[in-house]
Structure 1
Amino acid sequence: MKKLGLLVLLCFLVCCKTKSKEEINVEVAYETKAMLGEGAFWNYKSEELYWVDIEGKKLHIFSPKNEENKTIEMPSRIGTVVPVANKNKAVVALEDGIYIVDTITKELSLLSNVESDIVENRFNDGKCDPNGNLWVGSMHLAQTHPKANLYKIDGFGNANKMLDNITISNGIVWTSDKKTMYYIDTPTGKIKAYDFDDKSNTIKNERVAVVVNPKDGFPDGMTIDENDMLWVGMWNGNAVANYNPNTGELIKKIEVPAHNVTSCAFGGENLDVLYITTASLDMTEEEQKKYPLAGSVFKVQLKEKGVKGSFFNSPNLKTAQRN
C-alpha cells in the first residue's frame, strides 16, 4: 500500500496550482482506508492529531513524530473528538450522546444523553468555543430534511439547543477576537456567520459569509487561520478550499488525491502544517481507481499558520461509566 501511495503522489501532485500560481505539495501523512475520516483536531500540547472514522466507529490519535496511529474502538459511530483540558481525556460525540473517553484506559463516561431518543439523527462535527464549551451538531441520517440541531454542552453536561432546522451540521470555528462564529450546514452550500458573545457563550445576528460554488463541492469540516481566513474540506470536491469570510472570495484551492475531503486542522510545531482527513465512501468505480489513497490522512506545508484549538473545559469528570 505504501508503494502505491508513493507512486500516486508522484503522478498526482508534485505541484497543485492555486490562483496565485503558488506551488503546494500535498503528501500522505498516514496511509489508511478510513471509511469516513473526519473531525481533525491538533492537540498542541501532545503534538498529536486527533481524528475519527465515523462509519468505522474509531477514534484515532496520530503522532507525526513517530508516524504511529493509536486506535480506540467505539461502541457506535463517533462524530467528533476534542481533547479535554485534563491530560489523557477527550470528549467524543457518539450516536446516543456525549461522552468523556480516557485515552489510556479507553473507558467511556456519559456526559450528556442529549438526542439519545432521536433515532433519525446522529451526531456529526463539533468544536469548542474560546471558553471550552463543546458546540456539536447532529445530522439527519437520511440527509433529506432539516430535522437536526446544534447544541452547546458545558463541562457539567448541560446541553442547550443553539440552532435547529439543520440537515447536516458540520464545520464550526471562532475568530481570534472571539466575536464571530462561522458555521456550516452542508446541504445549504453556505458558510454562515454569527455574532458571538464570549461572556454568555451565545450567538445572534445570523448572516451568510460565503456562498460555495456547487462546482467546487459541498462544504464539510472547517478550520481557521491566524488571519481569520477559513479552510474548508470539500465533499465531492477533492480539495480544501480557502475562503475570505469578509468578502466571500475563494482565495485558493488545495487539490487532494481523494474525492471526498472531509476536514482539516493546522498542526506541527509552528502550526503551519495543514492535516487533511478524507473518506473512501461515496465514490464510483472510476473514482475509486482514480483516488486509491482515499481514506488516508494528508498533510501540506503552508506559509499560512493556524491557531491553537480550544480544549473542552470539564471540571466535573465524575460521570457514570458506560456499561
Structure 2
Amino acid sequence: MQIKFTMLIVGLLSLLGFSYYKLHKPDQGSDKVKVTIEIKSKLGEGSFWDHHNQRLFWVDIEGKTVHIFDPATKKSKAFNTPSRVGTVVPKNRDEAVIALEDGIYLINTNNGDLSLLSDVEAESTGNRFNDGKCDPNGNLWVGSMHLKQSAPKGNLYKIDIKGTATKMLDSVTISNGIVWTSDNKTMYYIDTPTGKIQAFDFHAGNSTISNKRTAVYIDESLGFGDGMAIDSEDKLWVALWNGNAVARFDPLTGKLIEKINVPAHNVTSCTFGGKNFETLYITTSSLDMTEKENKEFPLAGSLFEVRPGIKGVAGNFFSQKK
C-alpha cells in the first residue's frame, strides 16, 4: 500500500513538473498562436494598442495601408497612403501620427485625410521611414532606413507636437524596435543588421539619450531583431525576421528567456493589447520567402495573437505625457 501511494505521489509530481516545463520552457509551439486576421499583407509592421479606445493599429508598409482593428466587433478599417508607411501611433480618438516616405503626417482616423507635420528627410530619396514609437513625454522617435539596406545612411529622429525634428542618432541601416522602461530611465533600440539591442540612459526632463551600450546580442540562428515591445517586468519581446518567432529577452543579463513560434517566416512587430494587456498581437510579412517557405507558411502576412502569460504595459500616445 505504501509503495503504491509513493508511486502515486511520484507520478503526480512528475506530471506537475512536466506541466511547469511546458509552460515555462524557452521554446513554445505555434499551437499557442491564433490567427486574428487572415490577410496576405506584404509587410505588416508598426503594431500599437490604443488602450483608450480598445483597438489595434498596424500598417502594411509595402501595401501602403494603415489598419485599425476592433477586437470586440472583429471589424477592421483601412486607409491607403500615397507612399510606404513605416509606423503609426495614435494621438487621440480621431488622429494618429504616421511616417511616410517624404515625412511625418497626421492622419484622420475617421476618413484618412492627411496633414503634413514634418518634411524631415523629404530630400533623402535613398531612405524611407521605418518603425517608431513615442517616448514618455509624447515625442515620436522614428527612424529611417537605407532602401538598399547595404549602408548605414539612416537616422533616428525625435519629432515633437509642433513638428520639430531633432536628429538623435545617425549611421543607422535599418531602424527598428524602440521601447522605454517603466521608470522612464532606459530606452532600448534595434538597428537590425547589427544584431544588437542597444540600451541608452533616457533623460525624461529633456527627452535626450546618453551612455549607449549593448544590452542583448541576437544570435543569427534566431533570426534578426525587428519590432519590439516591453512587458510589465521590463523584459523585451522581439519580433524575429527570418526567425518564425517572437523572443523574450532579459536586457539586464542579455539572456533569451522564452521563444514563441509563429506560423510565418518573417515576424515583424508585436504589441501587448486587450483590456488587461494580456494579449500579444503579432504582425508578419509575406515578402522575401522561397517557394518552400511559401508552402510551409501559407498564413504569412496575417495578424496573429497569443496570450503568453505575461502582461504588457500601455504605450505612449503622440503629444501626451505618460
The alignment's TM-score, normalised by the length of structure 2, stands at 0.91
2:241 to 235, 239, 251: 235
Deviation at residue 22 of structure 1 after TM alignment: 9.0
Residue 25 (structure 1) aligned to one of 21, 32, 44 = 32
Match of 1:34 in 2: 41
Question: Which residue of structure 2 aligns with residue 54 of structure 1?
Answer: 61
Q: Is the 8 A contact 2:30 2:260 kept in 1?
A: no
Change (3 A) 1:156 1:284: same
Matched, 1:299 2:275: no
- TM superposition shift of 1:18: 3.5
1:159-206 residue CA offsets vs partner (Å, 9 max, x unmatched): 000000000000000000000000000000000000000001000000
Partner residue of 2:85?
A: 78
Match of 2:155 in 1: 149
Shift, 1:269, TM fit: 1.0
Indicate the structure (1 or 2) with the bigger Cα radius of gyration.
2
Please show how residues 58-207 of structure 1 align to structure 2 within 5 Å.
58-84=65-91, 86-207=92-213
Any runs of at least 4 consecutive aligned residues in structure 1 with deviations exceeding 6 A, and if so which? 20-24
Give the 3 Å change call, closer, same or farther, for CA 289–110 of structure 1 in structure 2: same
C-alpha distance in 2, partners of 1:250/1:89?
37
Give the secondary structure class of the aligned counterpart of 1:72: strand
Number of the residue aligned with 2:16: none
Give, as a single letter, the amino acid of the residue that structure 1 aligns with 2:182. Answer: S
Mapped pair 1:212 → 2:228: no
Helix, strand or coil for the counterpart of 1:216?
A: coil
Using the TM superposition, name which of 66-75 and 247-256 deviates more: 66-75
What residue ranges of structure 1 are gaps of 5+ in the alignment? 1-14, 316-323
Task: Work out whether residues 30 and 262 of structure 2, in 8 Å CA contact, stay in contact via their aligned partners in 1.
Answer: no
Aligned to 1:277: 283
Shift of 1:68: 1.2
Kept after mapping to 2: 8 A contact 1:171/1:222: yes
Deviation at 1:250, TM superposition (A): 0.3
Whichever residue aligns with residue 223 of structure 2, its letter is G
The structure-2 alpha-carbon separation of the partners of 1:23 and 1:157, relative to structure 1 and needing over 3 Å to count, comes to closer
Q: Distance in 2 between matches of 1:99 and 1:283?
A: 31
Gaps in structure 2 of 5+ consecutive residues: 1-21
Please tell me whether the aligned partners of residues 30 and 261 of structure 2 are also in contact (alpha carbons under 8 angstroms). no
Q: Distance in 2 between matches of 1:140 and 1:89?
A: 28
Deviation of the 1:238 alpha carbon: 0.3
Task: State the SS of the aligned residue for 1:289.
Answer: helix
1:53 partner letter: D
1:87 Cα offset (Å): 2.2
Counterpart pick for 2:228 among 214, 222, 228: 222
Q: Say if 1:156 and 1:314, in contact at 8 Å, map to a contact too.
A: no
Q: State the secondary structure of the residue aligned to 1:210.
A: strand
2:51 alignment counterpart: 44
* Partner deviation per Cα, 1:259-309 (whole Å, 9 max, x = no partner): 000000000111010000000000000000000000000000121000000
Query: How much does 1:65 deviate?
Result: 1.0
Using the size of structure 1 for normalisation, the TM-score is 0.90
Matched-pair contact (CA < 8 Å) for 1:225–1:306: yes
Distance in 2 separating the partners of 1:87 and 1:235: 32
* 8 Å CA contact retained: 1:155, 1:314: no
Aligned residues of 1:230 and 1:245 also touching (Cα < 8 A)? yes
Distance in 1, matches of 2:294 and 2:29, equals 28
RMSD of aligned Cα (Å) = 1.7
C-alpha distance in 2 between matches for 1:64 and 1:235? 26
Indicate the percent of aligned positions where both proteins have the same amino acid.
61
How many Å separate the matches in 1 of 2:157 and 2:27? 39
| Preserved contact between residue 232 and residue 241 of structure 1 (Cα < 8 Å) | yes
